[in-house]
Amino acid sequence: MSAATIVSEEKTILDQERTSVVGRLARHYLLRRIIKAIVTVWVVITLTFFLIHAMPGSPIDAFISNQMSLYGIDYHTAKSMAASIFAVDLSQPMPLQYLGFMGGLLHGSLGDSLANPGTPVSTELLQYLPWTLFCVSFGLLISFVVGCLLGLIMAYRRETWLDHALSGVGSFLVSIPSFLLATLIIEFLGVQWGILPFTQMRGSLSPGVKASFSPGFVGDLFYHGALPIAVYVLSTIGTWMLTMKSSTIAALEEDYVTVARARGLSDRRIMSAYVGRNAILPVFTQLTISIGFIIGSAAAIEFVLQYQGVGYLLLTSISARDYTTIQGIFLIITVSVIVCNLLADLLYGKLDPRITAIGSGAQE
């Protein structure tokens, strides 16, 4: 056998091994999802960058306008002040600005806030993010648990007065935007009836209260977070009620429920071991997706209630055209949504192994 033949055979073997490795990687469920998530993050970040910079006006224009309207400063003085404050060159070509942003991002830097020169965007996010996570996570947990329980009750008591009443309440709550619900609570419970001291409940903490594990801090934390949590629970619980009701009714019509009843199992046993477990799957997927959107969904609530979380920071940054802060917030929203979708895929595959099997079989 000649040397050329040996080299050719070795090359063929190497190519086959490489093809086999690539094929196994392509069929790997987790790896496919991770690669897809990374590409999606990059695409969304890129689109967000150019859309933000396409907004009319600039942080310099917003600063000049605020100085003229709030303090009566003339245009030339306000422009000189802006030139000394804003250390940013917005006249650079957009591709160069994009490359600079991505370069900083790869090095773990989100840049400095344009509205607050010298303050890193990461510092602002670390200041505002914990309040949003506390408020919305608490509200989401309460609304999900209570909504699913009410949905189960509605499905088992369907076509009764209780089902009609709860369905009406759920539909009513789903139809009201969160910002309108917050406004109505302030108007009626705060202004008209004087039940809630909403002016004292604004903000994240009372003046002089410092973060600690003391009962005073925990009580003040829930005092200021009570309104946002309540609004978030009321604005989302209807979705969980109606979704769980629909999913439970569909599960009750399956053949395994008929077989379980024929075996003499009690309704409580059927609900916990059969119906509830299967009905919760689509609701669970919706929950993981909702977790990714908690920051964006909190923006209107926080702005109306003056609760100083990331949503409040986002709206104030948009009005100030603070590009770097807006990009940092949208980066967090994008990553959280995509990561939660990835976790939903993986956990749903664990809960229902047929999903993983179908996904792997489609590649073979």
pLDDT digits (tens, 9 = 90+) for 341-355: 777 777 666 655 555
pLDDT of residue 165: 92
Q: What is the mean pLDDT of residues 26-43?
A: 77
- Tens digit of each residue's pLDDT (9 = 90 or more) over 142-197: 999 999 889 888 888 888 898 899 999 999 988 888 888 888 888 888 888 888 88
Domains of the chain: 128-320 (1.10.3720.10)
Q: Output 362 or 5, whichever has higher pLDDT.
A: 5
Tens of pLDDT, residues 305-327: 888 888 888 888 888 788 888 88
Are residues 172 and 242 in contact, defined by beta-carbon separation less than 8 angstroms?
no
Contacts of 76 (CB under 8 A, 6+ apart): none
Q: What is the pTM of this model?
A: 0.75
Q: Is the pLDDT of residue 206 over 50?
A: yes
Over residues 228-270, the pLDDT tens digits come to 899 989 988 998 999 888 888 887 777 777 777 777 777 777 7
Which tokens hold the place of 181?
Answer: 């619900």
Which ranges of 263-309 does DSSP label H, i.e. alpha helix?
267-270, 276-292, 294-305
Place of tokens 């050329």: 4
Q: Identify the band that residue 134 occupies on the pLDDT scale cut at 50, 70 and 90.
A: confident
The three-state secondary structure class of 224 is helix
Number of other CB atoms surrounding residue 256 within 10 Å: 12
- Decide: helix, strand or coil at residue 112: strand
Strand (E) or helix (H) holding 4:
helix 3-27
Q: Do 70 and 320 form a contact (C-beta atoms < 8 A)?
A: no
- C-alpha distances (whole Å) from 325 to each of 32, 49, 237 are 31, 11, 31
Which residues lie across from 120 on neighbouring strands? 112
Q: Are 330 and 48 in contact (CB under 8 A)?
A: yes
